[in-house]
Amino acid sequence: MTGQEQCVYLDFNASTPLVPEVIAAISSLFEIGYGNPSSLHWAGRAARDAVERARAQTATLLGCDPEEIVFTSGGTESNNHAIKGVYYSRVAAAARPHLITTRIEHPAVLNPCGFLERLGADVTYLGVDRHGQVDPEDVRRAIRPETILVSVMHANNEVGTLQPIAEIARIAKSRGVLVHTDAAQSVGKLPVKMQTLGVDLASIAGHKLYAPKGVGALFIRNGIRLEPLMHGAGHERGRRAGTENVLQIAGLGEACRVSESWVNNDRVRIMRDYFRQLLNNEFGDRVVLNGHPEQRLPNTLNVSFIGCRADQLLGKLDGIAASTGSACHSTHVEISPVLRAMGIAESVAMGAVRFSLGRSTTEAELEYVVGRIRRALS
């Protein structure tokens, strides 16, 4: 990178920086939050208060009761807890428990489902349309008497497409089936309320909404009983053993509080649409949108640059942080499973780049990136 080039971060779906309020919340506990939250004395009280304050803040953002929030180490653990917890708590009720998910889920959902298949579960992997959306009627048709769980992500991490979770939940509930959604990408970007979605379980990841890495939460609707993923003492009301990570939990809670003012803010969406217009004006038919044109995350723009490989393009954009879902090697490209499931032609999918914007993204940064792409493609 030359001295005239600058660093621009457009990979907020991968991870986000800590906002100042989160840093302050964590820092305030370095000296007073060292007690064990389970201890009854004064040192434990400060730590316990921080955890319960964060629980209330997280519940407020999700529109649920604080006691429905279980803190975890992140989205991966939350997904594993939800899927395996349902299976282990209901395995005795069915000869071969059946789960339903989709082909475009994050590996933190697909791999636990694959693990349960090896234990004897039956899993249906639903397809999606060319925009990356699941047809709720496919869910209806897939449900069987032995179905115990439907797990469909709220928003796809690669193309940003939103799924009709509320409709899927209504269908599943009418058949007595539990519903889980991986909401790691949508929480903090959109209004995500548990009552509106109608799900029984929902996963969130702290580092996707300006909280630290290594912390997350699982929403478990009151009345739902899961087998714990972590066994030990009675932490988190007996649902997740292990002494609570007070500092990071406090950071997650504060990030949720700050996000309240952002979920209805159109600024990031306006920046995303401005970026797309810049790309269209500059490259015309050489750039193609991947994902749903309207029902998608306000910050996500997945586009294919026709006639080039995404890895080679990003290699020429030193200093610009973006991502490609395809695995690129010296002689070939392994197309992203998400784009393949959407039926995107290989010649188009190989040029797919995901730009994910954040609260701090500026017009000047986007204009600079388009200029760099122009130079790279020339």
What distance in Å separates the CA atoms of residue 74 and residue 44, rounded to the nearest whole number?
24
Active site residue 328: yes
Catalytic-labelled residue, pool 7, 256, 308, 328: 328
End-to-end distance of the chain based on CA atoms, in angstroms?
A: 18
Q: Give the catalytic positions in this structure.
A: 328
